[in-house]
Structures are given as structure tokens and as C-alpha cells.
Amino acid sequence: MVYLWINTTEKTKKKCGCFLVCKDFVLTAANCWRRNRSFTVILGAHDIDEQEMTQQVIPIRKAIPHPYFKIKSFNHIMLLQLEKKAKLTAEVSLLKLPSGHYQVTPGMVCSLAG
């Protein structure tokens, strides 16, 4: 899991969860998107309230909401491009998305984040 920190005002911060799909992109819910706000992700955190050696703090370069996303909708996704590539470690790994022709079958082991 990746911790998404959205600067909304000087006093409050909105938080969302997301996951790393490749070294420089995370996937999250589109309803986390806010216009004209800065986004930062924190990867490799066990306790978000503690500064840990395993943490990587990376600003977001670009937010790419689903093309059909509407602000009051909660059923779309958003890609976030990181300013730099995350370093894959024991604490930071990818949750790869299946290909378009991939079929889930009964009894199959799956990964889930959210």
C-alpha cells in the first residue's frame, strides 16, 4: 500500500490509499483528485506517524483521472505519475495489473489492495 497525501489547506491534509503499479506510477480512486492541489506519496511506511528509514517520499508529477470521471462519482480510477522512480525494496514492491485478456478463475490466488 502507498499513502497518498493531498495538500488541501495549510491546516488539513486529505489522505487516500493507492498502490504502486510500476516504478513511477501509482493507482488510486479518482475521487481522491483535487484541482490545483499538490500530491505526495509515501512508500515503505509501517507507521505513517513515524519517520522510518524504509520510507520513500515522492511528489506527484501528474494526475491522470479516468476520462469519464465526474467529481460526485465514486466508481473510477486515477493514475498518478511520480516525480521520480520509486526504489523497489523489501518494503516497496509492485502490485502488477493483469493484462486485458487475463481471466480470474475459481481458486486462483489474487493480490488485493485498498
CATH number where 76 lies: 2.40.10.10
The number of distinct structural domains making up the chain is 1
In a domain, 63, yes or no: yes
Q: What is the CA radius of gyration of the chain?
A: 15
pTM score of the predicted model: 0.81
Find out whether 44 and 92 touch, Cβ atoms under 8 Å.
yes
Asked if residue 108 belongs to a domain, the reply is no
Asked if residues 31 and 6 have their Cβ atoms less than 8 Å apart, the reply is: no
Q: What is the pLDDT along the chain (114 residues), one digit of tens a residue?
A: 898 887 766 566 678 889 999 999 999 888 777 766 788 999 999 888 888 999 999 999 998 877 776 666 666 788 999 999 999 999 999 987 777 788 888 998 877 665
Q: Determine, yes or no, domain membership for 113.
A: no
- Domain residue limits at 52: 2-82
* Residue 24 belongs to some domain of the structure: yes
